[in-house]
Structure 1
Amino acid sequence: MLAAGPRFDVAVPPNGYAWWYIDATSECGAYGLTIIAFVGSVFSPYYKLSGRWHPDNHCAINVALSGPRGAAWAMTERPAHRVARGRDHFSVGPSAVRWDGDRLVIDIAEISAPLPYKVRGTVRVRPEMIGTTAFRLDPAGRHRWHPVAPRAHVEVEMTHPGISWSGAGYFDSNFGDEPLEEGFDEWHWSRAHLENDVAILYDGRRRDGAPFDLALRFDGQGRWHDVIQPARAALPRTGWLIKRTTRADAGSTPRVIKTWIDAPFYARSALATRLFGEDVRAVHESLSLGRFRSLIVQSMLPYRMPRAIW
């Protein structure tokens, strides 16, 4: 990755993965969006069954929209002959992600599953700061995280569903040399835009049972520094009974505003919380890789994540 923007031509080894993640919330707070572009799709049952020898043969662009008039979900995996990656672009079938000088542009042309409907539109992500440092998430450095743009302005223009909005957003990337479930058993992550800074918090447990956490603040120039983790706070379990925890100022009580994605092993939510003396809204995710490893969950995945052969 360069300070000027992301690099989509990174080498992904067998068993490995790469993903680029964007989230955004509308200025009114009613709408939410996440987009994840995957190489070696970490949650793909097809990639796992293949032996994970060819990451570029298992790519997808996941789109999840929520809101009173614009809920949509799409995640179709496609093979290598439908994938093109270069320094500034990454296309998967009819959808593409490209770095356009000073902003990220995502062109979406997907079909939802299991109910088939169009998910189409364009999303533009203009960073307000650029992060230049990648961080190890495990001692051996097999899993790495790079906050590309901890704060960004996002414009959403969808034709299917027919909605348009703009708001604050976030853009990062993750890379790994082994399956995610080999490195971790669970994690809880959140990001919050403070008045001047951005707080990003990791908290979880590695596969060997060792805890891990990471707490950072980024200033307006994208410079980061470590901070002491706020106190751990429990959140209500999801509809699939996934355990959720977060970090918040001692004495405060975080509240789930809305759960955008409630899956058997994963949840993404909007929180009202208090961090570093400020009342903020945060984007939060909880991931149970122990649940993901179960055969029951693996058998459910193809219904929401189909694989195309064209």
Structure 2
Amino acid sequence: MMYPVSLLGSALLTASLARANPYARSGVTKSVLPFQVINSTSTAEVISVKGGLDLPKLTPGVNDTTFDWWYFDAVSTGKNESVTLVFYNFGQTTLAVPYLDGPLLVQVTGTYENGTAFSKAIAASGNANFESSDRGIASEWIGSGGSYSFTGSSLDMINPSYTISIDDPESGISGSLKLQSISPSRYPCDLNIPGVTQEIIPDIYWSNAVPDADAIAEFTIDGEPLQFQGYGYHDKNWGVKPLEETLNTWYWGHARVGSYSLVWLDALAKDGKEHFSSWITKDGDVVSKSCEEQSIVVRPWGENSEYPPTTNLSAPSGYNIRYELGDGKAFVANFTVEAVTMSIGIYQRLIGPIVGGIEGEEQYEGRSLCEQFQY
């Protein structure tokens, strides 16, 4: 059943905002993303604003050369199972994803327990609605046969939660992904505070609402159940040029390793300059937060381990990941590819086991989902 966004703000937010102060209320801001690009200049939000981490970032909207997306995923604590949901608002020339007669697209991909991959792409031809306040965010993307929504509690709360819900019988997919964060929200180089840069490489921007979460996935896809508990994640990216014009490659990923939560980004821009964003928390406390040179270095190993990777290269065997912590200390991790959840010429999405810890100290086992762009 499709609900008007006003009901999203009152009904779907109720559970996720249960811990919010019921007496602390402020105005609700509403906006609509239309199923068409604008024919004018699109300006990106570069410097963070209070309460704006997870909101649309392009003003007055998306044109043919800009993009804005909301990304959610979860990887099972067991083997093979994963799900990724991406809500895209993008110009036709900007990204290597299907353009279905308009800029609004919801893409659902992942893997079943047996390792088989699935993929769905649905146009949100009925627009995308947003509501936000100091209590959180709610968004509904309306397709011809159903609706796709996400709601999140305030990022000022400790351990905020998100729920992503799908009800689309026409496309053969229904269910939900629930995320309970265990790691603070952040920008590439800073915590979630106003007045800091959101740029990760020139003309590409990043905010990370949920670096790590306990996740529960419950979906039915073409009649097949996908149900698991695992580790989840949510971020968003936006940019003012087609991705292939700004990016050569990047290695990104997130992991739970023992009591450590990891996020890494090691990117190579078209001009050959390498850019870094490191993030480690332990039991919710920050261990590493840096964009400094070599603060996080990721390199492939084994088969197909050429660096930088080139278009049409298959997935590597895994990655060596090294965080420089200062004072002569490092956190090292080794990721091994278990399953390829998505593979096209310029992109690989991978899941598998990871082992890591402070170099020279006890090493821990965990699970990871990561990606590789290769232009």
Using structure 1 for the length normalisation, give the TM-score: 0.74
The aligned residue for residue 151 of structure 2 is: 99
Aligned to 1:25: 75
* Correspondent of 2:225 among 162, 166, 171: 162
Q: Is 1:89 matched up with 2:138? A: yes
Output one character per residue of 1:18-53: Cα deviation in whole Å (capped at 9) or x when no partner. 111122122323411111111116334648xx9xxx
For structure 2, list consecutive stretches of 5 or more residues without a partner in the other structure. Answer: 1-47, 154-159, 189-197, 306-311, 323-330
Q: Per-residue deviation at 1:97?
A: 2.5
Partner of 1:58: 103
* 1:45 to 1:251, Cα distance in 2 relative to 1, 3 A: closer
CA pair 5-107 structure 1, distance change in 2 beyond 3 A: farther
Are positions 1:247 and 2:320 aligned together? yes
Q: Which residue of 1 aligns with 2:96?
A: 43
5+ residue gaps in structure 1?
51-56, 291-310
CA contact (8 A) 1:8 1:86 kept: no
Task: Determine which structure has the larger helix proportion and give its number.
Answer: 1
After TM superposition, give the deviation of residue 100 of structure 1 in Å.
4.5
2:186 is matched with which residue? 132
Partner of 2:156: none
Aligned-residue offset at 1:211? 2.6
The one-letter code matched in structure 1 to 2:140 is S
Identity %: 16
Task: Kindly indicate whether residue 121 of structure 2 is the aligned counterpart of residue 75 of structure 1.
Answer: yes
Post-superposition offset of 1:9: 4.0
Change (3 A) 1:276 1:195: same
1:16: how far off?
A: 1.8
Q: How many angstroms apart in 2 are the aligned matches of 1:219 and 1:2?
A: 27
**CA–CA distance in structure 2, aligned partners of residues 186 and 32 of structure 1:** 23
Equivalent position SS for 1:162: strand
Equivalent residue number for residue 306 of structure 1: none
Alpha-carbon distance in structure 2 between the residues aligned to 1:5 and 1:38: 18
Instruction: Work out the CA distance in 2 between the residues paired with 1:201 and 1:252.
Output: 11
For the structure 1 residues 197 and 76, does the alpha-carbon distance in structure 2 shift closer, same or farther, using more than 3 Å as the test? same
**Alignment RMSD:** 3.4
Q: Which amino acid aligns with 1:122?
A: S
**Are 2:208 and 1:173 equivalent residues in the alignment?**
no
**One-letter identity of the residue aligned with 2:54:** R
Does structure 1 conserve the Cα–Cα contact (< 8 Å) formed by 2:67 and 2:89? yes
Alignment check: 8 A CA contact 2:54 2:236 kept: no
1:237 to 293, 300, 304: 304
1:109/1:285 Cα in 2 relative to 1: closer, same or farther (>3 Å)?
A: same
Figure out how many residues of one structure are paired with residues of the other and give that number. 274
* 1:301 matched residue in structure 2: none
- Structure 1: distance between partners of 2:220 and 2:315: 36
What is the aligned counterpart of 1:195 among 228, 233, 258? 258
Matched, 1:7 2:54: yes
Preserved contact between residue 191 and residue 282 of structure 1 (Cα < 8 Å): yes
Matched, 1:261 2:342: yes
Alignment-mate amino acid for residue 103 of structure 1: S
1:132-190 Cα distance to aligned partner (Å, 9 max, x none): 3344212x4x2111121111121112233223222111111112122212210221112
Closer, same or farther in 2 for the Cα pair 1:133/1:215, shift >3 Å? closer
> Which amino acid in the other structure matches residue 189 of structure 1?
W
SS in 2 for 1:209: coil
Q: Distance in 2 between matches of 1:150 and 1:257?
A: 22
Please, which of 200, 203, 207 is the counterpart of residue 146 of structure 1? 207
Paired amino acid for 2:348: A
Residue 185 (structure 1) aligns with: 248
Per-residue Cα deviation, 1:173-221 (whole angstroms, up to 9, x for no partner):
1121222122102211122223333222222321223233332323444
User: Are the structure 2 counterparts of residues 132 and 254 from structure 1 closer, same or farther at C-alpha, using a change threshold of 3 Å?
Assistant: closer
Q: Which amino acid aligns with 1:208?
A: D
TM-score by length of 2: 0.63
Give the 3 Å change call, closer, same or farther, for CA 128–106 of structure 1 in structure 2.
same
Q: State the distance in 2 between where 1:27 and 1:215 align.
A: 23
